[in-house]
Structure 1
Amino acid sequence: MMFHVTSSRNRASIEKYGLDWRRMGAAPGIAGSPVPEQEGCFLAPDEWTADYFVAMNNTGGPVDVWAVDEVDPADLLTSGEGYDYFPGIIPPTRLRLVRADIPPAEN
């Protein structure tokens, strides 16, 4: 199992379409980018790494953490910044919301 962290504003789209980088637009990415940084979905290999992305939250609002099933680590690519992503769409049947509406960290 892997994890994906995203704005809570994306929840309805994820529940309907899964993780699809082409549908980005309801909220900026975790790093604050208004457009996809890669043609794929960033995944964290464990909860510790997911928490790192939760703390990074630059979405301007709360985030959700999704568990992602059936991902072969060999299918992941690594971005220039060193983060792993799946170069495709992950259907909603392989996703489970595990943490919802985590508020941004206070600075």
Structure 2
Amino acid sequence: MPVRYHVTSALNRTSIQRFGLDWRRMGAAPGIAGSRLPEQEGCFLAADEFERDWFVRMNSTGGPVDVWEVHGVDAADLVLSPEGHHYLPGVIPIGNVRLAQRDLP
């Protein structure tokens, strides 16, 4: 399975390192698009470096962002949001994520 990417505020780093990617724990910072509440019941995942970098440039969190590599996600498990981005419903365990880039402006 190919690596995917999740972009989020650096303020979420401690929570992710402890609990993995859990959309229910959103609250330390706004979402990457600036939303205060989860847009979907799951974690958005970029399919490639181009989409990853697009999410980094979108940064509306008010601070730096981290990029997390996500492993072990089957494309068949992803859901397409109304905005056209894929997300995985549910939680992604810490064993499936790795901090790849930190504190990007």
Partner residue in 1 for 2:90: 88
Amino acid paired to 2:21: L
Q: Where in structure 1 are there 5+ consecutive unaligned residues?
A: none
Q: TM-score, normalised by structure 1?
A: 0.95
CA RMSD of aligned residues (A): 0.4
Which one of 4, 7, 26 corresponds to residue 5 of structure 1?
7
Query: Is 1:100 aligned with 2:102?
Result: yes
* Runs of 5+ consecutive residues of structure 2 not aligned to the other structure: none
Q: CA deviation at 1:47?
A: 1.3
Equivalence for 1:49: 51
Match of 2:17 in 1: 15
Q: TM-score, normalised by structure 2?
A: 0.97
Runs of 4+ in 1 over 3 A off after TM superposition: none
Match of 2:38 among 17, 36, 42: 36
Number of aligned positions between the proteins: 103
Identity percentage over the alignment?
64
